[in-house]
Amino acid sequence: MKKHTLHTEFLAYTSADELPAADRALLALARQSLQNSYSPYSNFQVGAAVLLANGEMLGGANYENASYPMCICAEQSVLAATASRFPKESVVAIAVTVHNPNRPVAQPAAPCGACRQVICETEQKNKKTMRIILQGETGPVYVFEKGGDLLPLSFGGEYL
């Protein structure tokens, strides 16, 4: 028996003001996009924005359904739309932010497990890792260099 340790790392910025301008712009688009959140069941608004290799930015939001398991997360919504509209373009970064009308979120938005899996799949598809920029409504911003840092030991096409 051998014990293994999985290592992950990320950068923590005190606030969005410390980010490079391109990351600030992407986070601003994510924040703007959460206004398009369709979330009548949870009231929890999530906005995501991607930066493509060609410099273009696209935003998306969560899209809920009365049949609850069919709710589409903001990250999956924007990544699927991007793959459909720009199948040849790599995603180089994704920013995610949230708004909870019941209580301000002062910690970075944490993508759910399924969204982490979709981020890893997108990286495999594009043969390009993406930076992941996470912020709540206020507070610190976390930056991960790649999906694998959020989802170590992930399942992927190499198993099939």
| Binding-site size, ligand THU (CB under 6 A) | 13
Q: Which is nearer to ligand THU, 20 or 104 (CB)?
A: 104
Q: How far apart are CA 127 and CA 76, in angstroms?
A: 18
| Other beta carbons within 10 Å of 154 | 16
Q: Which CB, 11 or 72, lies closer to ligand THU?
A: 72
Nearer to ligand THU, 44 or 86 (CB): 44
* Of 15 and 42, CB closest to ligand THU: 42
The DSSP call for residue 33 is H
Quick check: 74 binds ligand THU (CB under 6 A)? yes
Tokens 């996470």 belong to residue: 134
* Strands ordered across the beta sheet of 57-61: 11-13, 141-144, 131-135, 91-99, 45-52, 57-61
The interface with ligand THU within residues 33-62 (CB under 6 A) comprises 39, 42, 44, 46, 62
15: contact with ligand THU by CB under 6 A: no
* Amino acid in the structure at residue 82: T
What's the rounded Cα separation, in Å, for the pair 60 and 73? 9
Considering the complex, what minimum distance in angstroms separates the CB of residue 44 from ligand THU? Answer: 4
The residues annotated as belonging to the active site are 75
Q: Write each residue from 82 to 121 as x if it is in contact with ligand THU (CB under 6 A), else as -, in one continuous string.
A: -----------------------------xx--x------
Residues ≥6 apart with Cβ < 8 Å to 7 = none
**Can you tell me which residue has the tokens 């198993």?**
159
Distance in Å, CB of 112 to ligand THU, minimum: 4
